[in-house]
Amino acid sequence: MQLSTFSDYAIRTLMHLAVADRHMLTTRQIAAIHGAKYNHLAKVTQWLVREGYVVSLRGRAGGLKLAMDTKDINVGVVLRDLERQSVLVECMRADGGSCILSPLCPLTAALKAAQTAFFDSLSQFTLNDLTSKNRPIGHLLSQLNDGAT
């Protein structure tokens, strides 16, 4: 299973915001940290705001911050929402695709089960689990954030 770049950047953005508790970050800062295109990351942050994970404040002192506690942001739920349009194989598309094996193929059921297990496994983790300050990644993210301001 491979996550989209959009999903990857969404999780990274949430992780950065989780450790930036003393200041807000802008989309431009997060894009610069990751060498990402600003326009692409802007779409990611817009999605995060629209879904209620992030709050965007305008103005000179504005930026992005989490809209909820890190313990309330479930990684599996976020990724499932982000990847709901992605399919592993053609026959898993909403229209069933055009594979002639689809009506009798056991692979479809096996892949659906694997995909469900993938998201269920990720659902055991919250954003807090990924970024708590006692984890090395939390320290690294804090340093990256500090360099972006």
Partners of residue 65 on adjacent β-strands:
55
- What pTM was computed for the model? 0.84
Pick the CATH number of 1-71+127-149 from 3.40.50.261, 3.40.50.2300, 1.10.10.10, 1.10.3720.10: 1.10.10.10
Per-residue pLDDT tens listing for the chain (149 residues):
788 999 999 999 999 899 886 688 999 999 998 899 999 999 999 999 999 999 999 888 789 999 999 999 999 999 999 988 777 777 777 777 788 877 788 888 888 888 899 999 999 999 999 988 666 776 777 777 776 65
What is the predicted pLDDT for the residue at 1?
72
What is the predicted pLDDT for the residue at 109?
83
What is the predicted pLDDT for the residue at 138?
67
Query: What are the boundaries of each domain within the chain?
Result: 1-71+127-149, 74-125
What is the predicted pLDDT for the residue at 37?
96
What is the predicted pLDDT for the residue at 88?
73
Q: Rounded distance, CA 119 to CA 88, Å? A: 13
Write out the DSSP string of 66-135: ESS-GGG-BHHHHHHHHTTT--SSGGGSTT--S-TTTTT-HHHHHHHHHHHHHHHHHTT-BHHHHH-TTS
The residue assigned the tokens 């990611």 is: 44
What is the predicted pLDDT for the residue at 86?
77
In terms of phi and psi (left: phi > 0; alpha: psi -120 to 50; beta: otherwise), the region of 89 is beta
Phi and psi dihedrals of 24, rounded to 5?
-90, 155
